[in-house]
């Protein structure tokens, strides 16, 4: 399976606009403020426009994609804001992203064949490894989006059951960086077919975490927290790498 180039381009613009160009304060404020919500929608549309105008030849279909992607993204986020305030539907992050991606796939089906890439953009890819756009897309998705997915509790609510020690801000930052590095290493091992080496990564992490778990007052709860978090992180990398056709 190989993603169509135009869909890869749109997904790159989506992940940049919806995650990396959306700071945490904006993600929090837009839930309660229409002004912040519209600001996010504007930034998202500008990100989509920039990437499409740089990579594809300009045409009316380019405008259709930019306006359509921006408008539907804003509409879905507005619906998410309403639902979040009512607190009626669980797993809202997963549903939200599924809707965004589905809309982009529909747009590609309607207008994708009407777009053509610029020669300069195609020639630039000659300087990079094969499948570079997909590799870049995979890296961007396994970092912040996967972290948000796990942190939102859509798959597993880490607040259930016994309480675990609340980490300090520095510990949270270190834990986030460990998760990023872990997923990056596993991602590159996967796309290079080094499946056995992944076991060494997990073993090394387990050895480093063992003293902390052993000496904790809530050792069982902390061990479950660690195991579930690690397996969710690894599973996400495997699934995304498979879906991108890199395995």
Write down the domain spans for the chain.
Answer: 5-127, 129-247
Please report which residue ranges of 87-194 form alpha helices under DSSP H: 92-111, 119-124, 132-142, 144-152, 169-191
Task: Please indicate whether residue 163 or residue 131 has the higher confidence score (pLDDT).
Answer: 131
pTM: predicted TM-score of the whole model, two decimal places: 0.87
Please determine, for residue 185, whether its predicted confidence score (pLDDT) is greater than 70.
Answer: yes
Question: What pLDDT digit, counting tens, does each position of 19-77 carry?
Answer: 999 998 998 898 889 999 999 999 999 999 999 999 999 999 999 999 999 999 999 99
Handedness of CA 220, 225, 230, 236 (dihedral sign): positive
Look up residue 121 and give its two tokens. Answer: 């953009």
Question: What pLDDT digit, counting tens, does each position of 4-16 carry?
Answer: 899 999 999 999 9
Please state the rounded mean pLDDT for residues 200-219.
71
Look up residue 210 and give its two tokens. Answer: 């063992």
3-class SS of residue 156:
coil
Please state the rounded mean pLDDT for residues 229-240.
90
Distance CA 145, CA 119 (A): 31
Cβ pair 237, 186 in contact under 8 A: yes
């Amino acid at each position: 399976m190989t993603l169509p180039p135009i869909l890869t381009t749109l997904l790159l613009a989506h992940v940049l606009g919806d995650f990396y160009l959306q700071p945490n304060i904006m993600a929090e404020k837009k839930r309660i403020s229409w002004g912040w919500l519209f600001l996010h929608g504007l930034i998202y549309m500008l990100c989509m426009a920039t990437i499409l105008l740089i990579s594809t030849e300009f045409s009316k279909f380019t405008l259709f994609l930019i306006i359509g992607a921006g408008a539907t993204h804003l509409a879905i986020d507005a619906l998410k804001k309403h639902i979040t305030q009512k607190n009626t539907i669980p797993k809202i992050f997963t549903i939200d992203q599924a809707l965004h991606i589905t809309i982009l796939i529909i747009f590609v089906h309607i207008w994708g064949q009407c777009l053509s890439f610029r020669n300069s953009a195609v020639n630039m890819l000659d300087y990079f490894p094969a499948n570079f756009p997909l590799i870049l897309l995979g890296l961007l998705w396994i970092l912040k989006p996967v972290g948000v997915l796990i942190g939102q509790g859509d798959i597993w609510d880490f607040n259930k059951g016994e309480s675990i020690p609340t980490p300090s801000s520095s510990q949270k930052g270190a834990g986030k960086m460990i998760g990023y590095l872990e997923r990056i290493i596993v991602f590159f091992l996967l796309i290079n077919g080094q499946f056995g080496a992944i076991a060494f990564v997990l073993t090394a992490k387990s050895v480093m975490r063992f003293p902390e778990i052993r000496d904790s007052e809530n050792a069982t709860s902390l061990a479950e927290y660690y195991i579930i978090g690690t397996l969710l992180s690894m599973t996400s990398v495997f699934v995304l790498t498979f879906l991108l056709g890199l395995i």
